[in-house]
Amino acid sequence: MTSANVQGKIYIAHKAIASIASESALSSYGVVGLAAKNLAESISRILVKDPILGVDISFLGSEIVLDVFIVVEYGTRIKSVASSVAENIKYRVEKATGLVVHAVNIHVRGLRISNTD
């Protein structure tokens, strides 16, 4: 994403925005991990430990649209967790980059049951 100011242009890499979204999602209550978007990403996750896998970024004009694929803890309210994650990501990305987030789409790819021992 490019932004212009008096001194020049500011470039924010997609990977930087995805890293902010990834950390925001993982720090949210009820989220136990990020999930792969598709089979190819699932295979690449095995080979490369990239923290931004599970986050997809696109732009709608000058606004950001984020798709985040998460795994939720079993027993939590999925709708509440997803809403909380979306709000948390939107707030943190807007605060860190100064860009407007148009939408944060949360895709719950699975549930994880923790060991109850």
| pLDDT reported for residue 39 | 65
C-alpha of 115 from chain center:
26
25-75 pLDDT per residue, tens: 999 999 998 887 766 665 665 556 666 788 999 999 889 999 999 999 999
Query: What pTM was estimated for this model as a whole?
Result: 0.83
Please tell me the least confidently modeled range out of 53-57, 80-84, 85-89.
Answer: 53-57
Q: If you average pLDDT over residues 10-35, what whole number do you get? A: 92
- For 13-112, CATH number out of 3.10.20.90, 3.30.420.10, 3.30.70.1350, 1.10.1270.20 equals 3.30.70.1350
Do residues 53 and 63 make contact, with C-beta atoms less than 8 angstroms apart? no
- C-alpha–C-alpha distance, residues 46 and 50, integer Å: 10
Q: Where are the domains of the chain?
A: 13-112
Q: Mean pLDDT across the stretch 71-90?
A: 95
